[in-house]
Amino acid sequence: MKDRTLPTLLLLYGVFSLVHFIHNAEFVRDYPNLPASWSRVDVYAAWLAMTGVGIAGWLVLRRGHRIAGLVVLAAYAMLGVDSLGHYVLAPLSAHTHAMNATILLEVGSAALVLVEVTRQLVSRLAGRRLQP
């Protein structure tokens, strides 16, 4: 039986990331302490670039380059965890409930991807074979 954990987690992360970035783009002026120069187009462009990293990692992985693909997917997951940077700019209390929900859903799902990718990398590097 094929292990569907990673693709399921990537899909979940992709959805929550998109939700967060849509909210961020549409309310970019309301997010506390974001640079005034940022526009909604900039936010959408950032999501496309970030998602491109994830797609590239998945394609590399699916083409049989497991370690390289997992490393790229780890980088993609870390980009999602980086959304915690909102709380460097302003405390949790300065954000609305919707802002906090979208940030934390993205970060949480990215963290789950990072844990699974790390598990697979450690297993692979330790010499055990995983099902693709």
Per-residue pLDDT tens for 71-96?
999 999 999 999 999 999 999 999 99
Domain coverage including residue 27? 5-125
Q: Is residue 20 part of a domain?
A: yes
pLDDT at 128: 57
Share of the chain above pLDDT 70, in %: 95
User: Could you tell me if residue 61 is inside a domain?
Assistant: yes
Residue 131 lies in a domain: no
Mean pLDDT of 4-28: 97
Is 132 contained in some domain?
A: no
pLDDT single digits (tens) 37-52: 999 999 999 999 999 9
The total number of structural domains that make up the chain: 1
In-domain check, residue 72: yes
User: ∠ CA 122-126-131 to the nearest 5 degrees?
Assistant: 75
Query: Is position 130 within any domain?
Result: no
